[in-house]
Structures are given as structure tokens and as C-alpha cells.
Structure 1
Amino acid sequence: MEMWIIIAFVVVLLIWRMKPTKGVRTISTAQLKNMLNDKDKVFVDVRTSAEYKGRNIPQFKNIPLGSSFDKLPKDKEIVVICQSGMRSSQACKQLKKQGFERVTNVRGGMSAY
């Protein structure tokens, strides 16, 4: 009986961790392609430097996950990408906690681009 309680707790925890952050918009890579030249957006790639050097989108600035986002402007929309969408989702949560109002995650990341 105790084992079922533990399993239920783990399932609830996983669902809670995977739910999208409130206030973070999600876009597809097709939608991203239509906005790459928008000067009112700041594009951030949170992959490692090596991943970024291997393949990147020129409009994106490389700020690896775990780095400081303090130098990003809070008055512009921040569009975040990674390899699959998981790290960018984490970065979006951090940005929202730091007071950024307009934060967008690219679903599927570079794998879908």
C-alpha cells in the first residue's frame, strides 16, 4: 500500500514539473522563421557554447543555461531556444522569476528547426 502512495507522489511531481510556466508563450519553429528579423525581440540560445558553434541561427545570442540573464532588456520580448525545448523551458521559468514580462519558448528547439 505504501508503494502506491510513493508512486502516486512521483507521478504528481513529474506532472507538476512538466506543466508550462504561466505567462510563457510557446511557438513552433515555423512561427519562429517568420519573426527572425523582428528588432523588438531578443533571441537567446541557451545551449552550451560547443552546441551553439556546431549549428546556430545567426539572430540568436548564445547565453548558456545557468548564465546570468541580467544584461537582457526587460522591455523586449525574449525568444528562447535550445536543442529540444527542455532547457529553454527552464530558462523561460528563470526569466519570468526575474521579472521579464514577455518570454517565448521555441517548441522542439534546434532539433525541430
Structure 2
Amino acid sequence: MDILSYIVIAVLLGVFIMRFIPASGVKQISTSELKNLLSDKSKQFIDVRTPGEYRRNHIREFKNIPLQDIAKKADLLSKEKEVVVICQSGMRSQNAAKMLKRLGFKNIRNVKGGMSAWR
């Protein structure tokens, strides 16, 4: 392999790793921790799954803003309030948390395991 092949592999590996590393400043919480937060009206609860997934099963306190709409609809959220994000497994919500961080949100929690871990 030549040096260009190594560079391409390194870049692709870096991109792959960055997708799975938690965003800096985003707190990871369990579903049991989430249960203690649901009655807190000062928090914003966002479910980033598709509308179909959300209709089939969701937590009442969560508003549905699909991942692909987060950037467009971020202005509906307050940057002053904490945002709690959830998806099916925790991956899309992690990506949403990274987007929100880039958009200037400071206090974000991601639910580890997502709806798959919710009981």
C-alpha cells in the first residue's frame, strides 16, 4: 500500500470513530435517571426518531423533532433550558446532541440505550 492509501484509511477510520464518541459536554444518562427528570418542567424533552417510530411508542413528555429536522427546528427550543434527547438506541440522539452543541446549546443530556432501554 502506498502513503495515499494509508491516509484514506486513517481519514475514514477517524470519521467512523467520531460518529460514536460522545459529544464533549453532553451528559449521558440512563433511563432510570430519566424517570427522575420527567416531571421537571424546566427541561425540554426531544425524541429524534421518525414520526412513525414516535407514533408507535413514545414517552408522553417528549416532543418529536426528527433528527433530520433538528437544525431547522432548533429555534423552537430555548438555549437557556436543558435539552434531553432520546431515540431508539442512543445513536441518533447522540448525533442530535452534537448538532445542538454546534448550534450553541450548552446543557444537553442524551439517554443511553434510548427507547430500547426504556421500561
Which stretch shows the higher mean deviation, 62-71 or 49-58?
A: 62-71
Aligned to 1:112: 117
Runs of 5+ unmatched residues, structure 1: none
Contact 2:20/2:91 (8 A) holds in 1: no
CA drift at 1:30: 1.0
Which of 85, 90, 100 does residue 85 from structure 1 map onto? 90
Which structure carries more helix by proportion?
2
Deviation digits for residues 66-93 of structure 1, max 9, x if unmatched? Answer: 2122111111100000011111011111
Moved over 6 A (4+): none
3-state secondary structure, aligned to 1:34: helix
TM-score, normalised by the number of residues in structure 1: 0.90
Equivalent in 40, 43, 67 of residue 41 of structure 1: 43
TM-score (norm 2): 0.86
Contact 2:34 2:111 in 1 (8 A): yes
Q: Does 1:103 align with 2:108?
A: yes
RMSD of the TM alignment (CA)?
1.6
Instruction: Report the identity percentage.
Output: 53
Name structure 2 gaps, 5 residues minimum.
none
For 1:1-113, what aligned pairs fall within 5 Å after superposition? 1-2=1-2, 5=6, 6-67=8-69, 68-113=73-118
Task: Measure the CA separation in 2 of the matches of 1:8 and 1:96.
Answer: 26
* Residues 12/66 of structure 1: CA separation in 2 closer, same or farther (3 Å cut): closer
| Residue-pair matches, total | 113
CA-CA distance at 1:98 after TM superposition? 1.0
In structure 2, distance between residues paired with 1:40 and 1:63: 18
